[in-house]
Structure 1
Amino acid sequence: MAKPPSRQSQIITAVFLDKYSDGATSIPFSRQDLFDACSKHGIEPLKNMGDGAVYSYRYRAKWPPAIMDRQPKGKEWVILGRGIAQYEFRLVDRSNILPNRHLVSTKVPEATPEIIKRYAFTDEQALLARIRYNRLIDIFFGIAAYSLQNHLRTTVDAIGQIEIDEIYVGIDRHGRHFVIPAQAKVGNDKIGYAQLYQDLAYCAEKYPRLMCRALAAKFMPGGTIALFELTIDGESVKIVQERHYDLVPEGDISEAELDSYNARAGAE
C-alpha cells in the first residue's frame, strides 16, 4: 500500500500548483501563502512552517511528483530566499555536479587528530573536520586560509535567513584577501544551485572587498575527498576547478608518487 504524502509535501505542492502557470520560470510566494494553502486545501499546518515546508526542499528533499512533472528536460525547480519570509520557486539548469571518477587523486599525509575521528558525529561534520585539520583549503587554492566560523546561520537582505556550513578567510602571497564559503555534501546530498546562490550573495553583502571563492566538498567511495571551486553562470552551476585528495599515513606516499607530483606541478 502506497505511503500517503507527508504534510510538508502536500503543503509545498499546494502552494506551487496554486501559483503555477504554463511557461512560468519564477514563482514568488511567502510564508503566509503556506498557511493560506493549508486553509484552502484542508491541510494541518506544521509547527515550524518555514523550516518544515521550505528548508528541506530548498536543500535536500526530492520534489513531490506534481512539481517534478513540471520540470522541462534539463531544468529543475529550486527554492530561493527573496527576503524575510519571502521565497521564490525558480527554474534553473539542472545541476549535475559529481566527482570526476577519472581525475587523478593526490595523497596528503593525514593530520586529523584521532580523537576527532572518534567523536565526529556525522559524515558532514567528519568531512569538514578533515578539510580543516589537513589544510585542504590552503592546498586547493594555494593560499593561507583560516576557519572563521562553522554552521553559520545569518540573514542576507535580498534572501532572508541562510545557513553556511563553514566560512574561511585567507590571504595569498600578493596580500589579497579572500572569503571562502564551504559546503559539505555526503551520501546522496547533491551540490545544488540554491546553496551556491546564497553563499555568493552572503559574501557579496558581508565581504564586498574580499575575493569570494566558493567551495564544495564531497566524500567519494573509499574516503577520497573531492573539492570543487564553483560559480554561477546565468542559471547554471559551473565548475571552476576540481581536485581529489586521499588522506593517508605518511609512509603510504612513495618516492615514485612524489616524483609524479613534481612532474605534474611542472607541467601546469
Structure 2
Amino acid sequence: MKKRKPPKKDESNRYHQIVRHIFFRHYAKGMTEFTFARSEIETAAASLGIPLPKNIGDSLYTYRFRMALPEEISRTAPPGKNWIIKLAGKGKYKFELVAGGHILPNEMLADIKIPDATPGVIDMYALNDEQALLGKLHYNRLIDIFLGFAAYRLQSHLRTTVPGMGQVETDEIYVGIDSRGVHYIVPVQAKGGTDKLSIVQVEQDLALCRNKFPSLFCIPVAAQFMRDDVIALFSFVDGEDGVGVSSERHYRLVAPESMTREEWEIYRKRLFAGADKS
C-alpha cells in the first residue's frame, strides 16, 4: 500500500470536523452501523464552510488506519466497543461498532533473534518504512519462519475490486505449501512509522482471498515495526465472533556474529520443551 504522510495539524483539524459532521448526520443512539457516501466529504466541507482537503480520500484513510476517531464519536461507543470505518461498496463507507479496532503488539512478548540476511543495499535505498519492512520479510524468510511452511512472494501491492466492498489493496501476496501438500494464500499488510494495523484491513484481505483465491487456505498476516527495529508478526482467523489474532511473534534481526552459543542453546531448549508438551 502506498505510504501516506500524516496530515498536518490544520489538515488534521479539518479532518476531525468533516468526520464528526458525517457521523452525527447519520448517528442515532443505539445504532451499531450505518453507511455513508464518499461524496458526503464534499457536502460536509461545504456545510462547515471549510476548504475541501487536498486529498479527499485521506480524510477517511487517516481514521481507518492512522489516527483515533474524534473523542465525540468515541464517547458514543459502549464499553469494550469502538467505531471503525469500513468499505461498503464503490464510493461507499460504513461506520461499524466492533470489539477492538487497531491491532497493537504485546509489549510483554519476548523477542526471537534472527540472523539478518537483508542485503545492505536494500537498507540503503528503501524509500520508506513500509518498503523496508516488506524487504526484510522477504529476504529473511520471516513469513516462512512465522507460519511454518514454505511461502513464496506472488505479487506486491495487489489492488482489485471485491463485491460489497469496492476497491481493496494488500501490500503483498504470498502463496505457500506445507509438508502435507496443502496450499495457502497469505495476504500481508505492513505498517511502519505512525500507521497502525487495523482489523479493517484484515477483513478486506479475507474478502479478497475468498473472491480471488477461493480454493486456497487463507491466512492473513500483518507486520509492524516496533522499537529498535523489532518486527511484530500477527496471523488471523475468522471465527464465530469475527476476526481474531491466532498467533503473534516478535523477531529481532541481528548481525549473525552477534548471536552467542548461549542464545542458540536457549532456543534449542525451547524446542525440546515444546516437543515434550505436545
Residue 132 (1) aligns with residue 133 (2): no
In 2 relative to 1, CA 235–7 (structure 1 residues): closer, same or farther, beyond 3 Å? farther
Match of 1:152 among 147, 150, 158: 158
When the two structures are aligned, how many residues end up with a matched partner? 266
CA RMSD of aligned residues (A): 2.2
Q: 1:255 to 1:129 in 2, by over 3 A?
A: same
Aligned to 2:22: 15
- The corresponding residue for 2:73 is 67
Match status 1:181 vs 2:164: no
In 1: Cα distance, 2:31 partner to 2:83 partner: 11
Paired AA for residue 20 in structure 1: Y
Q: Match for 1:264: what amino acid?
A: R
Counterpart of 1:221 (choices 214, 222, 227) is 227
Gaps of 5+ in 1: none
Output one character per residue of 1:99-147: Cα deviation in whole Å (capped at 9) or x when no partner. 2333232221111000000111111211111111100001111111111
Q: Which deviates more from structure 2 when the two are superposed, residues 18-27 or residues 157-166?
A: 157-166
Counterpart of 2:204 in structure 1 is 198
The equivalent position to 1:34 in structure 2, one of 33, 36, 41, is 41
Contact kept? 1:111, 1:134, Cα under 8 Å: yes
> Contact conserved, 2:64 with 2:198, CA < 8 A, in 1?
no
Aligned residue number for residue 260 of structure 2: 254
In 1, distance between residues paired with 2:228 and 2:247?
22
Q: Report sequence identity in percent.
A: 44
Give the direction of change, closer, same or farther, for the CA distance of 1:48–1:65 in structure 2 (3 Å limit).
same
Q: Sort the Cα spacing of 1:137 and 1:166 in 2 relative to 1 into closer, same or farther, 3 A.
A: same
Q: Is the 8 A contact 2:65 2:197 kept in 1?
A: no
> Hey, what does 1:100 align to over in structure 2?
106
Aligned residue type for 2:14: R
Cα pair distance change 1:180/1:74, threshold 3 Å:
same
Q: Which residue of 1 aligns with 2:116?
A: 110
Compared CA separation, residues 187 and 48, structure 1 to 2 (3 A): closer
Structure 2 spans left out of the alignment, 5+ residues: 1-8
Change in 2 beyond 3 A, CA 1:131/1:36: same
Is the CA contact (8 Å cut-off) linking 1:196 and 1:231 kept in structure 2?
no
Q: Flag the 1:46–1:133 CA change in 2: closer, same or farther, 3 A.
A: same
Contact kept? 1:193, 1:236, Cα under 8 Å: no
Change in 2 beyond 3 A, CA 1:101/1:45 = closer
Deviation at 1:35, TM superposition (A): 3.6
**Amino acid in structure 2 at the alignment position of 1:128:** L
SS at match of 1:23: coil
Letter of the 2:139 counterpart: Y
SS of residue paired to 1:240? strand
* TM-fit CA distance, 1:40: 4.2
- TM-score where L is the length of structure 1: 0.90
Is the 8 Å Cα contact of residues 149 and 168 (structure 1) preserved in structure 2?
A: yes
Question: Residue 11 of structure 2 contacts residue 53 of structure 2 at CA under 8 Å; is this kept in 1?
Answer: no
SS of the residue aligned with 2:180?
coil
Summarize the Cα distance change of 1:208–1:186 in structure 2 as closer, same or farther, 3 Å threshold: same
CA contact (8 A) 2:102 2:199 kept: no
Give the 3 Å change call, closer, same or farther, for CA 61–235 of structure 1 in structure 2: farther
SS in structure 2 at match of 1:83: coil
The Cα shift of 1:22 comes to 0.4
Please give the TM-score of this superposition, normalised by the length of structure 2: 0.87
Query: Deviation digits for residues 48-78 of structure 1, max 9, x if unmatched?
Result: 53x1332222222321233223222221111
DSSP-derived class of the 1:70 partner? coil
* 1:6-57 per-position Cα deviation (integer Å, ceiling 9, x unaligned): 43332222111110000111011112333443444444444553x1332222
TM-aligned CA distance change 1:224 to 1:4, over 3 Å: closer
Question: What code does the residue aligned with 2:94 have?
Answer: E
